[in-house]
Structure 1
């Protein structure tokens, strides 16, 4: 999705603060924790459908997410992310430490 104006500036600033090494370490940890091989590709691509995030929160708190969609439309997959965010809040993660669904999905 192309960004213009102020959104482009915000996106550029955010990207400039990211560390590929930290992102790789996070992906490796997530997939090691859920017992699956880490995929190649970008940080966003690995987490975009919310499946790994839901599996992760279920490892930390079994049953936190009852049904994980593994296919379907963007809206269905975005619901995985919403379920993860809700479960993370229930787990004790502060609201200001979480991202919004569109931050990951778009």
Structure 2
């Protein structure tokens, strides 16, 4: 199962962690895993490019783990923009969870 943990402080996303594997299909054909990867990495790339910032990123070499944290230096309009992008990511992940809930679980702390 893929576990997504979103860390918020004062309604602002501070970090998120995605771990595990969906195992919803054979390796290379796992649609849930592919969807979660596309949504999460697309969002990370969007924040990096549109907010002109480097995120704190940790990922496992073989996949199955992604941790992303917004830097403390990100403030004001850039922080607001980053949060809009990450909120959109959460909504996309929730759409996947609604359809494939046996393979993905989202928690917001």
TM-score (norm 1): 0.31
- Structure number with the higher helix fraction is 1
* RCO higher in structure (CA 8 A, sep ≥6): 2
Structure number with larger C-alpha Rg: 1
- Structure number with the higher strand fraction is 2
